[in-house]
Amino acid sequence: MRAGRIRPLTVHDLNQLLLVCSLVLLIAVAAVRISSRSGLPSLLVYLGIGVAIGQDGIGNVSFNNAELTQVIGYAALVVILAEGGLGTKWKEIKPALPSAAVLSTVGVAVSVGITAAAAHYLIGLEWRQALIIGAVVSSTDAAAVFSVLRKVPLPSRVNGILEAESGFNDAPVVILVVAFSTAGPIEHWYVLIGEIALELAIGATIGVAVGVIGAYTLRHVALPASGLYPIAVMAIAVTAYAAGALAHGSGFLAVYLASMVLGNARLPHWPATRGFAEGLGWLAQIGMFVLLGLLVTPHDLADDIVPAIIIGLVLTAVARPLEVFVSLLPFRMSWQEKALMSWAGLRGAVPIILATIPMVNGVEDSRRIFNIVFVLVVVYTLVQGPTLPWLARKLRLGEDAEAADLGIESAPLEQLRGHLLSLTILKGSRMHGVEVAELRLPAGSAVTLVVRDGKSFVPLPTTVLRRGDDLLVVATDPVRDAAEARLRAVGQGGKLAGWLGTGR
């Protein structure tokens, strides 16, 4: 074999690769159970798996391909943003859009400036390297925010702002990191602002357009198998990212907005789609964190631990609180809500992935930048993640539970020109105690079956619905949307929904 020639992959190599990957996945899945009980964020467990099988660990695997890590990281982030967008409720995020938009633009600028100044004056980094670190760590991580916040019962406004911010702020931060990592002088600030605004506008337009077109198509075209709907939804979301990026817009913003449109469009077989997207999201997180753990070299981190802690302390105790309080000045929010959002600026894989950009571009001291970001993320995730529920309770922001929404699954019956709606009356739903006749479903729809305690029966108009019941509702095409809207209204407002201004 000639020197430098790469040996082709054989079936034996594939078998070994599949065995290692499957074992890593099984360990990672088991680690989720451990982390949920211990309060340790799962991302740290995944990073630990990567470090353990790396060149300083028991696996002794040598991996230093920053380009491949960046590509796979971008792909994983697309999937994570898609899953997050699909799970974002429009009623929660709509009032949060203005404040989240300011946090993702003005707030990012405040955070970058303060953090970069700390890296320059306290650590002694050159301004270019300091600005790169400031931009890299100013992005809250979508995977960390989505996974942590959905376990903490926060007020819908706070939850909506934090989720929207994590979905929006990747776009401007990526533009800043690329600009600071490019060879040559840094462009004027007004040029950067113009580029950010243009890319965000292009990405938002394409994302909403792709989402609306995709949702309309899936609602009006019956696919031959229910398993095709989850695949189609994820394909539409990835299309939004690719189209946005190719149009020189923000692909990350495009995929998040397209997924959010799809997630609120009441598509057929929605629970199956959510389960599929959630599984892909977990797979993306596991693969991304393990790969990032492989890329780091633990014995090189010693000299960067103190600088990382100092920069992280400024970011957490100064930059993030100022970012939140300055950005939210125009909005009426309590100091408790602002304090919680200051502490909930979770970092994760996104900053570490962005730290590979200067490595790929050959920026001086890029390896040190990567090491500082890696240590910062690990240390402050250990501090912030487990203490967030405690802080929410202390601030009395995690006590008010809202009525649970209904998980309604729709299956189109193309030949019969109708739909089957299946739903479960969840804990907290105000449909509990309502008689079937009191649902006041529109003409052309009816509750045809109830499953209670494992037994099914055809309900009477006087049948009282209970918590835990599974309902099967048949609706004709013209009243399908009205029937679902009425069911959701009763679930949130009870039997008097509509008469008291709740629902339809």
Residue 298: helix, strand or coil by DSSP?
A: helix
> What is the DSSP-derived secondary structure letter of residue 483?
H
Residue with tokens 């069911």: 487
Distance from chain centroid for Cα 337: 21
pTM for the full predicted model: 0.74
- Specify whether the backbone of 473 is left (phi greater than 0), alpha (psi in -120 to 50) or beta: beta
- CATH fold for the domain made of 409-493: Alpha-Beta Plaits (3.30.70)
Closest by CA position to 406, among listed 427, 436, 379, 376: 427
Closest by CA position to 261, among listed 133, 504, 13, 89: 89
Token representation of residue 42: 């799962």
Phi (first) and psi of residue 175, to 5 degrees: -60, -45
| Beta bridge mates, 476 | 418
Same fold, 42-394 and 409-493: no
Measured CA to CA, the distance from residue 106 to residue 326 in angstroms comes to 8
The Cβ of residue 390 has, within 10 Å, a number of other Cβ atoms equal to 12
| Beta bridge mates, 409 | 422
Give me the residue spans of the domains in the chain: 42-394, 409-493
- Reading the chain (504 residues) residue by residue, the pLDDT tens digits are 444 455 677 888 788 888 888 888 888 777 766 666 555 667 777 888 888 887 777 767 777 788 888 888 889 889 988 988 888 878 778 888 889 889 888 898 899 999 999 999 999 999 999 999 999 998 887 666 766 666 666 777 787 888 788 778 877 888 888 888 886 666 667 777 788 888 889 999 999 999 999 999 988 887 888 788 899 999 999 999 999 999 988 898 899 999 999 998 888 888 788 888 988 988 888 888 888 888 888 888 888 899 999 999 999 999 999 999 999 988 888 888 889 888 888 787 788 888 888 988 888 888 899 999 989 988 888 888 778 878 888 888 755 444 445 555 566 665 556 778 888 888 778 898 999 998 999 998 999 999 998 889 999 999 999 988 999 998 888 888 888 888 988 888 887 776 654 444
CATH of 42-394, one of 1.10.20.10, 1.20.1530.20, 1.25.40.10, 3.30.479.30: 1.20.1530.20
Q: In angstroms, what CA-CA distances link 309 with 122, 289, 340, 379? A: 12, 21, 21, 8
